[in-house]
Structure formats: C-alpha cells, structure tokens
Structure 1
Amino acid sequence: MRYLSTRGHPWSSPAFPGPAFSDILLAGLAPDGGLYVPESYPLVSRAELDEWRALNYADLASAILAKFVDDIPPADLALLTRRTYTAQVYGNGRVAARAPEVAPLSWLIPPGRFGQEGGLALLELSNGPTLAFKDMAMQLLGHLFEYVLARRGEEINILAATSGDTGSSAEYAMRGKHRVRVFMLSPHERMSAFQRAQMYSLQDANIFNIAVRGVFDDAQDIVKAVANDLSFKARYKIGAVNSINWARVAAQVVYYFKAYLAATGEPSADAVQAVDFAVPSGNFGNVCAGHIARMMGLPIRRLVVATNENDVLDEFFRTGIYRPRPTGETCQTSSPSMDISKASNFERFVFDLVGRNPATIRQLWEAVDAGGSFDLSSSPCFERLPEFGFVSGRSTHADRLATIRQVYENYGLIIDPHTADGLKVACDLRTAETTMIVLETALPTKFEETISEALGCTPPRPPALRDLESLPQRVEVVDADPQVVKRFIERHVT
C-alpha cells in the first residue's frame, strides 16, 4: 500500500512510487497542499467479514488497519491496537450495569419491532477519556506517533485546530508522550465551557493551547498556511492530528465495520444485509471514514450526512454547489463542534467523485482556497453521486432540543446536541426495510447549557470531571494570523 496526494504531487523519481504509512502519519498534509489517500482502496471479502465477527475491537482494528499499513510489522501493529482499545480506556459507558465494551450499539428500536423490519441504533463512540468520538482514533494516534518516532529517533511538533472535541482528544492522547509537542488552535470563546476547561486545564509541559480570535475555519486556515510553508514545516518538524491526517481517518473506518458486524446476523448465502449510517458532520472526517469503508466493500446502503445551521455539506449533496461561508456567515450554534464551513476532508471524497483526477481537484480547490466556491451540478461526475450512497439533511437549534426531549421521554437516554442533529436527520430519512445506525459523537455532559434548556436538568458527570471548570487554565489568545502562530511555535520549541 502506497499513498498519493489528491492534488497530484509528483514524487522525486519513478523509483519512489509514493510515501508509506509512517511517512504520511508524520507529514499530515502533502507537500502540494493536498490530502493523502491510498493509491487504491483495499477490498474486503465476504469470507473476511465472516471471520471478523469473532474478533474483539482491538483485533478487528489490527486486521483492518493492516490493509493500510505497509511498514509496521503486523505483530507490532496488533500490540499497539491492543494497548489502545481496552475496556479501561473506553469505560465511561452510560449503562453502568453493562460490562464496558468498545463502541457498543445501543438499540432505540430493535430490528423487527413496531412493524419496522430495520432497527434504529446509536453507535456509542464517546466512552473514551474525553467523552468524544475523536478518542476512538486519537488514542491510537498517540501510540503510533510514539512508536514511529522512537524507531526513527525523531520528534514532532503537532499543529492542529479544533472546533471543540479534537483538541482535548488530541491533548489527552499526546500528553506526556516522548518526542511529541502539541500546539492546539481553538476559536476564542466559541466552545462550551466544559470543552474549554478540558483543554486549557492541562498543565503538561508538551501541551500548548492557543485561542484564535475568530471561528474554527480561521484556525484551520492557519494550520494549512503553516503546513504549506514547507521550509518552516521541515525546520520545526510540523505534523498534524486533525482528520487531514490519513491515519485518523483510517482508524475511524474500524468502527463502521464493528457496527455493521454487531447489527447484522450471519449473512445468507445469496445476500448480504445492508445498513444505513447517519453521521453528524462538520469537517467531513467521520463520514469520510464511512465512505472509505463502503468503498472497501462494507455493505452500507446510504451514508446520511447531517449538518446543523452551517449547512454547506447539505447544500452540496442537494445541489452540487460547494460554497464555503466566510467567517461572518459561520453561525455560532448549540452544536458547536459542527460550526464549520470549510470541510477539510471533503476533498478526499470529491477526489473519488471526479474519477481521482488531481488536475480537477487543483482547479476546484484553487477557487475554494481563494475564498470562492465551485459548482458540479452540470458536471457528469455529479450524476454519479448516487453510486456513492450519500444523502443529507439539516437540523436546527429547535430540532435538536426537540430530539433531545423525545429521546429522553421515549428511551430514558440523554444525548448530546450533535448526536441529536444526526438522529433528527436519520429519522427524517429512515426507511422501513433498512437498519439505521446513528453515530454518537459526544456525551451530553460536555454541553450542559443545551441539555438544561431541553430537559430542565443537567446530565451526570463522571466523578473525575465534576470540578473541571474550577481548575486553573493555561491558554494564550492571539489574532488569526499565521505569522503570530509561527512565532509562538518558535519560542516554545527548543
């Protein structure tokens, strides 16, 4: 398995076909500003799916990731996944009576009930250290970085942007790791109090929090600008943990397989049961992993893209127009981790949609990077969109409040606002014959104000996090300027 850039970066010689997995793990963005993708998607056979039904999450992760990892011995990869995916690390499940399990399904409507052949379930992805789905991939990245850097005798300075959950997930995964520093950008005063405290209260010497005056897209633009300064990137060994890093997306592919195998019985001889997945979407990384799983042959019928009021992705899947909004038009909502108007991973999907043509991607993203948009509505490639299984919908503040109330009244569960967005759109588009799995994105305690507005009460917190907001916080507030961030990095890298 070798990798290429969505924008067609030429490699140094015909003898070097492209970087290996460990190379792109450390690199983040490709040198031409594109995103790394595998030269082809590995296919999974029916027999492999049957064999994987007996595996626990750690061994399933090893089996799937081995298809993308060409330069880490399988035995070492298995040790890394087993060190990552344990009940102790992912033991914050909401059902106390149930033994801890990595990424369990929680059935709202089991298959066959109420006249519905297909069921409705939540895939619980938020039982990790920071109570957000980002932990599922980020904890593994921490171990991968430490392993690869030790083997190479190198170090890395991670520069990333967060709209809420990526930051704390990355920092908790990398804190105390040898040879790793983290410089995390976040939008100043645009996250929940819990999200800010989770990040800013960390006092580890290798963790640096930088609050940018602006929105998430401003912070993300800084990350890309620094990564595109190739001399600075090389001098200060800049890496990435946002979902622009292929390893993050690859790790997220695993839980689509896990959910499918848990939701379906043994396949019949003549058919494989398909499922739908609904995914709350902002930066497109989570649902991009579902796209990759589907391209690998996992029987996913539809991928439901659920947005909040920042509905750039919904607009594209309905109209073929991709129109990122400027900072002033990016809404501040009650599902803040989705307050994103430039979906970084969207480029990976469009690369497949346009037939993996890097010249087309360069042309399209030249317009996007200049603050513009593109329109594929009259392009032959847009007619192929149904082949990829994507549908979409939009949720508002009123919708998420109503969904939170309905789930609590009907099932006795409290869900967070982002999961509510996903569930609202899932229910709008659900069909009787197919099981719908909604990806949970965070535990509700991270968004107490919205839960209180919806239910008149606050959700319970894990004991270790009860006084989180009262802890001392360490953060530097800066203007949205790449040069300011570069100077900050220079001062703190010794």
Structure 2
Amino acid sequence: MKYVSTRSGQSLGEFSDVLLSGLAPDGGLAMPEHIPTFSPAELEALRGLSYPDLAYAVMRPFISDIPEADLRALLRATYTAEAFGSPDIAPLTPLGESGLYLLELSNGPSLAFKDMAMQFLGQAFEYVLEKRDQRVNILGATSGDTGSAAEYAMLGKARVNVFMLSPHGRMSAFQQAQMYGLNEPNIFNIAIEGVFDDCQDLVKEVNADAEFKARYDIGAVNSINWARVLAQAVYYFKAYFALNLPAGAEADFSVPSGNFGNVFAGYLARSMGLPVGRLIVASNENDVLHEFFTTGNYHVRPAAQVAKTSSPSMDIGKASNFERYLYLVAGRDAVQTAGWWQEVGEGRPVRLHGTAHWDAVQGSGFAAGRSTHADRLATIRRVDEQFGRLIDPHTADGVLVGEQFQRPGVPMVCLETALPAKFEETVQEAVGRLPERPERFHDIEKGERFCEVMPNDVQALKAYIAAKLDERGEQ
C-alpha cells in the first residue's frame, strides 16, 4: 500500500514512511491510495478473533512493508491484558436495557482512549527506527490526553524524544500532573501561552520548515499520524462483533469529537465495509463540527473564540483530521482539498451547502449534536443513578448526543474517552463524590512538575528544540 498527500497527490511512500514523517512536505495529510474493503463473508470470518488478531486483519491491508510475523508480534506486544486490564482490551458494556452501550477504551496506561493507538505507535516507532538505524524527535500538541498517552508509550524508547505542547492552564489538574510529573531524559513538556489550536498550529509551522524538520528528524504522533487513525479503526470492528448482531445488521456510534480523528477512524471502518449505520459527532460548546454537519459550513474558530469548557480535551476550534474527510468527500481531488484548506488558513469558511460535495456529506452517514456544561453534569448524574456507571464529561457528551439520535432496534455504541478520575472536579460537581482512581495515580497532583512555559512563538519553540537536542548531541 502506497500513501499520498491530501493536498497534492504527491507520493509519500509506504506505511513506515508516513509513520515517521507526520505531515506531508506540502502540509497535507497522508492517505492510502485506496481503501480496501471486506466482503460480507470476510467480515464474518473476523468474528471471535482475539484483539491482536483482529487488529492484524484490519490493519494488514494498509501495512505492506512490515513482514507478517513482525507485524503480528508488534500487535501482540501492544494489546496485552497487562497494559489494558483484561484480554478483552476494549470491553463493550450495555447501559441497562436502554439500547446504549459503552465501548470502554480508557483502561490503558494513561486512562484515555488515546492509549489504544499510542501503545501501538510506541512499538511501531521502535521497530522501524531500529530497522533503519534512525532516530526521531516527536513534536506533538495535546488538548489533554494525547500528551500523556504519547509520553507513556515512548518512555524508555532509546531512539525517540518527545516534545509535547499543551495549552497553559487549560487542562484538568490530573492531566497536567500526569504529563508534567514525568522526569524522563527523552520527554520534554512545553506549556504554550494560548489554546490547543495555537499548539497545533505551532506543530504545523515547525513541520513546514523543511530544513529544520530534516535537520532535527521531526516526526508526529498527533491524530494527524495515519497510524493512529488506522489503529483506532480496529475498535469499531471489535465493538460491532461484540454486539452479536445478525450479519449485515447496522450499529450506530456516538463519538465525542474535537480533532475529528476518533470519529474519522469510524468512517474508515465504515468505508472498509463494516455495517456502521450512522456516526454521531458529539461536540461541546466549541461546536465547529456540529455547525458543519448541520449547516454545511466549516468555520474555524480563532483562538480567542475557543471556549474553556468542562470537557477540555474537545476545546478545539480547528479539527485537523477533518482534512482527510474533505479529501474523500471531494472524491480524492487533492487540488480541491488544498483549495478548501487554503480558505481555512485564510480564515474563511468552507461552504459546501448547496453543492454536489454537500450531497456527498449527507450521504456519508454523519450526524451531529452538541452539549453544554449543564447537559454533561445532568448526564453524568443520570447515568450514575440509572445504570450505576460513572463516566467522564467527554463521554457524557457522547452519551447525551447519542441518545438524541437513537433509532429503534439499532444499538448505539458510545465511545468512552477517559476515566472519570481524570476530571474529578466536574464529576464531583455532578454526583457529589470523587471518582475512584487507580492506586498508581494516588496523590499525583502533589508531585514535582517538569514543564517549560513558553510564548506562542514558533522561533522560540524551534530554538528550544534545537538547544535540547544539541545538548544531547542528537542534531
């Protein structure tokens, strides 16, 4: 399988190449030349597979440059009961007789769904870098959970350094402690004076400097990394088969969405032939995606208009993975995609309503809803009272919006995004008690912090990266 850029169609090589490179040289994202599909009979053959074997079946068509035995070994080393709490890896739990289900994705090392892909990236990076005798310096941006998931996945990886940007003061106390408490030689936390979109834009600006990127071997683990999207598609298959539906019967999925990577993975699974009926995009007060799927206008919010909410990992005004979706909506027309994204870059909305492309959007299976602080408090409280299940505020957004789009007789799978312990203040406000937290994170907020606060300035960021790598003799 070869990969191309969404903005030019330029060839980007095979899986290992796009794994290490992050953004394409033209600023676009990597997409496979085509999306392989499973026939109904082939889908049925996947039922009952262990999670590592299911991951192999789903991911293998997109990974042609890693030998079968090696890829199977990487996946078996990734998806273990020790790392994820049980051999089931991603358990599916019904919420009573409501027709709603929780797909538990937050049992990994950092207590967030990002572990499902990031643990694989850690294994894959180590494998590819060893084969190529290379190093990589990961530059990432996080609104809360990507950072800790990436850092936990890359701990002890001799050929990898992680430079993780986060919005200063805009994550939960637990999230900050989880990231900034790491004092590891290959982990560098940088708190940017701004919002997540500022962090994301800095990553893109650094990647746009081809000379700097090449000199310092800059790579990415954000949801712009194709390997993450691919790994996330697996748990849609896992959830579908766990429902034990008749062959071909549909299931719907509600996905808390900020950067669009998690729900795009569901669209990838749907495109591969999985009987996904509808993909429900659940937004918080930062409702850029909700606005698009209800009006046909994609209007990026400037940093000053990104609200600080109680589901902070979704406080995003520009969804980077949305470019991949627009590329497919455009029929893989890279020129059209580049034009749309240029409009985004210039602060103008992308207007699809009334065009043939809007017809494609309406036929793609998406719907959208939004939630407020009061909504998520009420949802956390109601789910706790009715089903004896405590959920985090982002998952509450997904449950609330999923309920609004339930169809009679069609299961609605709500993707859990994090354990409630990561957002204690909001959960306590909702139910009047603190959620349980794993013993290893007891009193995590009391530990020392290791983090550099930095202005929103790309030159300052590049100087910091260069200085740290020069100190280590790794330029």
TM-score range, shorter chain: over 0.9
CA distance in 2, matches of 1:396, 1:264: 34
Matched, 1:201 2:177: no
Specify which of 399, 407, 422 is matched with residue 375 of structure 2: 399
Deviation, structure 1 residue 380: 1.1
1:462-487 Cα deviation digits (max 9, x unpaired): 11101111111100000011111100
| CA positional deviation for 1:100 | 5.3
Counterparts in 2 of 1:86-165, with a 5 A limit?
86-91=80-85, 101-110=88-97, 119-165=99-145
Aligned with 1:166 (options 134, 141, 146): 146
Q: What does 1:429-444 align with in structure 2 at a 5 Å threshold? A: 429-444=405-420
Structure 1 residue runs of 4 or more that deviate by more than 3 Å after TM superposition: none
Cα distance, 1:9 vs structure 2: 4.6
SS at 2:43 equivalent: helix
Q: Report the alpha carbon displacement of residue 44 of structure 1 after superposing the two structures with TM.
A: 1.0
TM-score, length-scaled by structure 1: 0.94
- Which residue number corresponds to residue 2 of structure 1? 2
What is the distance in 2 between the residues matched to 1:276 and 1:216? Answer: 29
Task: Verify the 8 A CA contact 2:428 2:434 in the aligned structure 1.
Answer: yes
Task: Check whether the contact 2:96–2:387 (CA below 8 A) recurs between aligned residues.
Answer: no
Query: Residue 61 of structure 1 aligns with which residue?
Result: 55
CA distance in 1, matches of 2:346, 2:443: 44
**Whole-Å separation in 2 of the counterparts to 1:80 and 1:146:** 10
- Partners in 1 of 2:429 and 2:96 — Cα distance? 26
1:181 and 1:217 map into 2 onto residues whose CA distance is 22
- Find out whether 1:312 has 2:292 as its counterpart: no
Report the alpha carbon displacement of residue 101 of structure 1 after superposing the two structures with TM: 2.4
Residue 15 of structure 2 corresponds to 21
Give structure 2 stretches of 5+ with no counterpart.
none
Partner of 1:447: 423
1:264·1:273 contact (CA, 8 Å) conserved in 2?
A: no
In structure 2, which of residues 68, 71, 77 is the aligned counterpart of residue 83 of structure 1? 77
State the distance in 1 between where 2:257 and 2:223 align.
12
2: CA distance between counterparts of 1:109 and 1:385?
33
What CA distance in whole angstroms lies between the structure 2 residues aligned with 1:55 and 1:182?
34
One-letter amino acid of the counterpart of residue 397, structure 2: D
Residue aligned with 2:279, SS: strand
2:203 matches 1:223: yes
SS in 1 for 2:34: coil
Q: What amino acid is the match of 1:104?
A: P
Q: Which string of whole-angstrom CA distances, capped at 9 and with x for unpartnered residues, describes residues 280-337 of structure 1? A: 0000000000000001110001000000000000000001100011111100000000
Quote how far apart the aligned CAs of 1:120 are.
1.3
**Separation in 2, partners of 1:312, 1:240:** 24
Q: Separation in 1 of the partners of 2:346 and 2:208?
A: 15
- The aligned residue for residue 348 of structure 2 is 372
Q: Percent identity?
A: 58
Distance in 1 (alpha carbons) for counterparts of 2:16 and 2:243: 33
Q: Deviations over 1:180-201 (max 9, x none)?
A: 0000000000000000000000
Whole-angstrom CA distance in 2 between matches of 1:364 and 1:409: 46
Residues 23-48 of structure 1, C-alpha deviations (whole Å, 9 max, x = no match):
00000101100000111101012222
Q: 1: distance between equivalents of 2:218 and 2:80? A: 30
What amino acid is the match of 2:235?
A: Y
Residue equivalent to 2:42: 48
Alignment: residue pair count = 470
RMSD, aligned α-carbons: 1.0
Tell me the SS of whatever aligns to 1:126.
Answer: coil
Partner-residue secondary structure (3-state), 1:109:
coil
Partner of 2:255: 279
CA displacement at 1:264 relative to structure 2:
2.5
**Partner residue of 1:389 out of 365, 372, 388:** 365
Superposition TM-score, scaled by structure 2 size: 0.98
